[in-house]
Chains A and B, each alone.
Chain A
């Protein structure tokens, strides 16, 4: 089963400190999103409030909220220092 489809126990929330926004696999930089998502900047914006802190998860190949969590969390080097 791939990481993208692996089930997780929905009834047991993962630690709040392990937000995707702090994971090394997550990229929520506005300019990166505008560059990588075709058409994003045409009638939308990476810098908009509606985007909140969403970003791309390189591990699961998903676009998701920075507040998301998963069991593959790996803290970004700069944060864990």
Chain B
């Protein structure tokens, strides 16, 4: 018999806020990410840095060279592993996941990520297009869909936990002033695309005769925030049990396709990194998949014809996806819940919700992202741009970016390892047509807005503060 989680066993009242602070993955991502930022700031203030522990493989050209490098830095890698295991271990334990199962699985995730990281800095990796996110994804997909992933490994594949922690750390590298400057544009662009994409999927689905609740679940998956959007709206409208898995299947398949397509098309068109990041942020379906695509494109920075910094791709993606789309999921859930209970066919269940729904479903890790940005912006306010590049970037922001890259690599590898295609639910032709119509509209509209309407804006991202 299954046991019920702590969040659902209290009678007569929803889980308290205090309880949620330690019962939800989003909050643990905040505690871990902000904890690292605070420690990094304290070290920086004391004339020290997290550089020692934020170790990563450096460029190499022969296996011997790589081996020597890893051997020299072995104590640092062990310390980094222990740090991540302790942080994520405390988090998953608090969520009710067995630490005994998580720890050995995380050893595999860490070593696999180290391998991916090392491949990414091989001096021939550019020649073979071995961008770390793509390598991690392909390696994971290959293992998961051939030999399979043993049960003991699954508890270590916490895709969302890793990506949320990475996003909080990413906030430390994104000046708060930049968020304030670019946020409104991201919100406008994302709102246009989200509304049109949702409307397209919903309209086509209903015209094809699909249930409105399934249509809304598909629409949210395609227009708002992928699997999270689909699952949140499915719950808010009281969808049939089989509706969410259908939407999830379509989100995952299209998200994986887009991880490869968006960077390759952007590269073929030689889009500046900020512009490509904005397009990826508009047209990818899930945070984890989008970061894989955006980081891949960032890796092309500096190649012939590709203008902009590597960071601009990830920053534009984050502004568009996280601030422009993710944070509005509660509003979508509330509005669709009201429609479902007042306009759509009855189901025998009263699913009415109140305005608190917006906060309950708010992706709380975004709070950590904002706070991390504000902290580092405050610390850096006394420095000129040149001083910032010479002092703050290498000693404070750089190590945090290094830790962020590790968190994202754990995530990318976990996506591949947990995507077993034969385990996904069958979607059916009609949901596929409806969702795909939204994908097509989203791609075209996102491209026009990113590369034409707001092109100058996104191109300027990553340049000295406006």
Report A's interface with B, CB cutoff 8 A: 3-8, 10, 13-14, 16-17, 19-22, 26-32, 37-45, 47-57, 60-72, 75-76, 78-79
Which of B5, B25, B288, B364 neighbours the largest number of chain A CB atoms within 10 Å of its CB?
B5
Can you report 5 residue pairs joining A to B where beta carbons are below 8 Å apart?
A43-B285, A47-B161, A49-B27, A63-B238, A65-B337
Does A53 lie within 8 Å of B350, measured CB to CB?
no
Q: Give A51 to B236 CA distance when docked, in angstroms.
A: 9
Query: Contacts A10-B350, A13-B352, A43-B226: A64 and B4 contacting too (C-beta < 8 A)?
Result: no
Q: Give A63 to B12 CA distance when docked, in angstroms.
A: 20
Does B361 lie within 8 Å of A39, measured CB to CB?
no
Does A62 lie within 8 Å of B349, measured CB to CB?
yes
B225 within 8 Å of A (CB atoms): yes
* Chain B contacts for A19, CB-based, 8 A: 12, 14
Does B347 lie within 8 Å of A52, measured CB to CB?
no
Does A42 lie within 8 Å of B363, measured CB to CB?
no
Which secondary structure dominates chain A's binding surface? loop
Stretch from B49-57, B165-173, B249-257, B390-398 forming part of the interface with A = B249-257
- Extra pairs beyond A16-B12, A42-B248 (12, CB < 8 Å): A8-B349, A21-B8, A39-B252, A43-B288, A47-B25, A48-B160, A52-B357, A53-B15, A54-B234, A65-B235, A69-B350, A70-B348
Does B288 lie within 8 Å of A21, measured CB to CB?
no
Q: Give A20 to B228 CA distance when docked, in angstroms.
A: 21
Q: Which B residues, 126 to 165, have Cβ-Cβ distances below 8 Å to chain A?
A: 157-161
A73 to chain B, nearest CB (A): 10
* Chain B contacts for A3, CB-based, 8 A: 348
A3 to chain B, nearest CB (A): 5
Report B's interface with A, CB cutoff 8 A: 2-5, 7-12, 14-15, 20, 24-27, 95-97, 157-161, 225-232, 234-236, 238-241, 243-245, 248-249, 251-252, 255, 285-289, 329-330, 337, 341-342, 345-353, 357, 360-365, 415, 418-419, 423-425
CB contact between B248 and one of A8, A39, A54, A62 (< 8 Å): that residue: A39
Query: Contacts A20-B349, A50-B329, A68-B349: A39 and B9 contacting too (C-beta < 8 A)?
Result: no
Does A42 lie within 8 Å of B225, measured CB to CB?
no
* Chain A contacts for B425, CB-based, 8 A: 38-39
CB contact between B415 and one of A27, A43, A48, A61 (< 8 Å): that residue: A43
Nearest 6 pairs between A and B by C-beta? A54-B235, A44-B227, A45-B160, A28-B8, A47-B25, A43-B286
Query: Contacts A10-B346, A42-B418: A55 and B97 contacting too (C-beta < 8 A)?
Result: no
Does A13 lie within 8 Å of B350, measured CB to CB?
yes
Which of A17, A29, A69 neighbours the largest number of chain B CB atoms within 10 Å of its CB?
A29
Q: Give A23 to B157 CA distance when docked, in angstroms.
A: 31
Q: Give A54 to B97 CA distance when docked, in angstroms.
A: 19
Does B2 lie within 8 Å of A27, measured CB to CB?
yes
Which of B25, B329, B347 neighbours the largest number of chain A CB atoms within 10 Å of its CB?
B347
